[in-house]
Structure 1
Amino acid sequence: MVVIYLSIQLSANGLRERYTEQLLKKTVKHSFNVTKAPGLEPVSQS
């Protein structure tokens, strides 16, 4: 039971991270395309 629960939690976390990453990329692209506001630096240069 615990192992199944843990694996479900892990996969859920992985999906959430992937979704968040996609969302961040979209948001960053969107903000770069639409507004180049002064004083706002890119979030991260990885």
Structure 2
Amino acid sequence: MARDSVLHRAQEPDDIAYAVLFLASDEAKNITGQSLNVDSGKILR
């Protein structure tokens, strides 16, 4: 639920797509072995 997240908003498919596009881009060429949580801050709660 949106109220359970730090940002108080629900995830949209575009949120995941933008993260995937970034990781597939040249800007992310030096990123290795990381976890990227696209969850509106739910993991922080």
The two structures share one fold, judged by TM-score above 0.5: no
Q: Which structure is higher in RCO with an 8 Å CA cutoff and minimum separation 6?
A: 2
Specify which structure has the higher proportion of helix: 1
Query: Bigger radius of gyration, 1 or 2?
Result: 1
Name the TM-score, length of structure 2 as normaliser: 0.31
Name the TM-score, length of structure 1 as normaliser: 0.30
